[in-house]
Amino acid sequence: MSNLESRPEETLCAAGPGRAGEVEVLEPREVPLGGLRGMPVRRTLPQRSRSLIGAWCFLDHYGPDDVAETGGMQVRAHPHTGLQTASWLFSGTIEHRDSAGNHAMVRPGELNLMTAGSGISHSERSTPDTTVLHGAQLWIALPAHARGIVKRFDHYVPPLVSGEGYTAQVFLGSLLGERSPVETHTPLVGAELTLAEGASLTLNVDPAFEHGVLVDTGSVAIAPGDATGASLRAEDLGFAAAGCSELTLTAGPDGAHVLLIGGAPFEDELVMWWNFIGGSHEEVAAARDAWQATISADEANALDDADRFGLPDDEPEPPLPAPELPTARLLPRSKLGPLPPATATLATAGGADATARSEPQPSSEEAPMSDAAEQVRVAHEPDASRYAIYLGETLAGFTEYRVPARGNARAFVHTEVDPEFGGRGLAGTLVTEAMADTRSAGMRIVPYCPYVSAWLKKHPEYEEIVDWPTT
């Protein structure tokens, strides 16, 4: 799965401290995968309080998703560096294609692990026969010595093991007497566990590992060693620091379905931006430049076998372009604690005589709405003739429109973001979603607002539905 954010934050990821015997409860933020009408995913890692659990650096949990309503997962070819992607489904099927020549179906209970190394690209699409899509997508950071390895793809179907009140599949590492043969580059564990109502399971775990337990359905109490631990509800992720040799899971009255992840605390600091992981801002910027060169190559200047990323075969749609890098280096997010102020500049777009001073954003397919500190939500408010953007429950800005007499268009007249919320990319996110939703509604766009006008001039894919003002 791609991180489709239009202004992805450059994040310095590092193992964070934790106290043995205590459980930290992490709650996800919702990110629409592909815009206002896209499939919603719940992103639990990375977040402001913790960026890594072992080498696990990214966790999206999604579904059960009615594909008939959202369109399911439709992610065009996009790049990765410096990581492994682990796909694990509970229901539905996803078609995977990558630039190493692999074409595979991701099915429930089967691990598909793609190793990016120095560069790979892939696409992910739910299949036409999928009615409900439900699962998790995880990224594993590669240590410095492995970030330049050759791209590869592994498929593994772990056996189902069972005991009193539980069943399990161990897809990475070792647990419950099972060992996965799939190679990782730091010590890791990954498993799916299903517990009957009230069942209690004590796992013997590596005390050098920190662990995370993601609750898919039901509820579970997690206790490291003899500690009291914490109670987790559906969608919570419980974090237990290294130092405990036992981890006890006790299901609630409706049972529990969980994913267990863990690993040795990750020693390398790394920068994660969009779909790239590297050791520095410069390394990530070079990866972005290489990807843009890949997707801009034409038949007359076809890239040879030495191309860093390559493209999957038989793709029905063009690949995703990378977002623009910030004009200034973003301050990295700290491994724990509050976010520092962002240093990238995005000016508030003013009224009819204002000048747009920020770079317009990519189209909605590349721009789910998220904010590193708070949930960002764009809402269409037709009674007020506007799209509004909220941080949590706080109105942060809006773009207003008028509907001409003929009724088949929206004339956007004014875009504004409260200066208190400047520097977060909100104006771009707002206009991206407003344009995409207007197009989805089958309406034309009349851009009187200078910010909207500037955005559209950078997005020629909207040209055929734009009526440029003549006065």
94 contacts 136 by C-beta, under 8 angstroms? no
pLDDT tens digit sequence for 335-359:
433 333 322 222 223 332 222 222 2
More confident residue, 55 or 347: 55
Q: What is the pLDDT of residue 104?
A: 95
Percent of the chain surpassing pLDDT 90: 55
- pLDDT grade, residue 103 (50/70/90)? very high
Q: What is the pLDDT of residue 330?
A: 42
**Residues 159-188, mean pLDDT to the nearest whole number:** 97
Within 10 A of 328 (CB to CB), how many other CB atoms are there? Answer: 10
In a domain, residue 84? The reply is yes
Number of domains in the chain: 2
In a domain, residue 411? The reply is yes
In a domain, residue 295? The reply is no
Q: What is the pLDDT of residue 471?
A: 59
Q: According to the per-residue pLDDT averaged within each range, which of 157-171, 387-401, 411-425 is highest?
A: 157-171
In a domain, residue 342? The reply is no
CATH code of residue 55: 2.60.120.10
> Looking at the structure, do residues 258 and 394 belong to the same domain, yes or no?
no
In a domain, residue 358? The reply is no
Report the candidate in 28, 26, 391, 468 with the shortest Cα–Cα distance to residue 240: 26
Within 10 A of 279 (CB to CB), how many other CB atoms are there? Answer: 15
**Residues 173-202, mean pLDDT to the nearest whole number:** 97
Beta strand pairing call for 386-391 and 394-402:
antiparallel
The whole domain housing 49 covers: 23-263
DSSP letters, 80-138, are: EBSEEEEEEEEES-EEEEETTS-EEEE-BT-EEEEE-TT-EEEEEEE-TT-SEEEEEEE
| pLDDT of 10 higher than 50 | no
| pLDDT of 285 higher than 50 | yes
Of 211-225, 242-256, 317-331, 444-458, the range with the lowest mean pLDDT is 317-331
**Residues 413-437, mean pLDDT to the nearest whole number:** 86
Q: What is the pLDDT of residue 408?
A: 87
Residue where the block lists tokens 């509907």: 403
- pLDDT grade, residue 267 (50/70/90)? confident
DSSP letters, 169-194, are: EEEESEETTEE-----SS-EEEEEEE
**Residues 304-328, mean pLDDT to the nearest whole number:** 81
In a domain, residue 310? The reply is no
Element (H, E) at 379: strand 376-381
Q: What is the spatial distance between Cα 63 and Cα 67, in angstroms, rounded to a whole number?
A: 10
- pLDDT grade, residue 173 (50/70/90)? very high
More confident residue, 225 or 321: 321
In a domain, residue 96? The reply is yes
**Residues 226-243, mean pLDDT to the nearest whole number:** 90
In a domain, residue 152? The reply is yes
Q: What is the spatial distance between Cα 173 and Cα 175, in angstroms, rounded to a whole number?
A: 7
Q: 373: left (phi > 0), else alpha (psi -120 to 50), else beta?
A: alpha
- Strand segments, DSSP code E, in 225-330 are 230-232, 237-240, 246-263, 270-273, 276-278
Report the mean per-residue pLDDT for the chain: 82
130 contacts 39 by C-beta, under 8 angstroms? no
- pLDDT grade, residue 18 (50/70/90)? low
Q: What is the pLDDT of residue 38?
A: 62
- pLDDT grade, residue 20 (50/70/90)? low
| pLDDT of 460 higher than 50 | yes
Task: Look at residues 235, 263, 291 and tell me which one is the last residue of a structural domain.
Answer: 263
pLDDT tens digit sequence for 235-261:
999 999 999 899 999 999 999 999 999
Task: Look at residues 218, 240, 263 and tell me which one is the last residue of a structural domain.
Answer: 263
**Helical pair 426-440 and 450-457, crossing angle rounded to 10 deg:** 70
Cα-based distances in Å from 331 to 7, 11, 39, 165, 207: 14, 8, 30, 48, 34
> Looking at the structure, do residues 56 and 202 belong to the same domain, yes or no?
yes
Cα-based distances in Å from 302 to 58, 122, 455: 33, 19, 31
b/e for 74-107, b at 16 or more Cβ within 10 A?
Answer: bbbbbbbbbbbbbbbbbebbbbbbbbbebebebb
- pLDDT grade, residue 269 (50/70/90)? confident
| pLDDT of 332 higher than 60 | no
Task: Look at residues 222, 248, 263 and tell me which one is the last residue of a structural domain.
Answer: 263
Report the candidate in 143, 246, 247, 250 with the shortest Cα–Cα distance to residue 186: 143
> Looking at the structure, do residues 393 and 245 belong to the same domain, yes or no?
no
- pLDDT grade, residue 4 (50/70/90)? low
CATH code of residue 432: 3.40.630.30
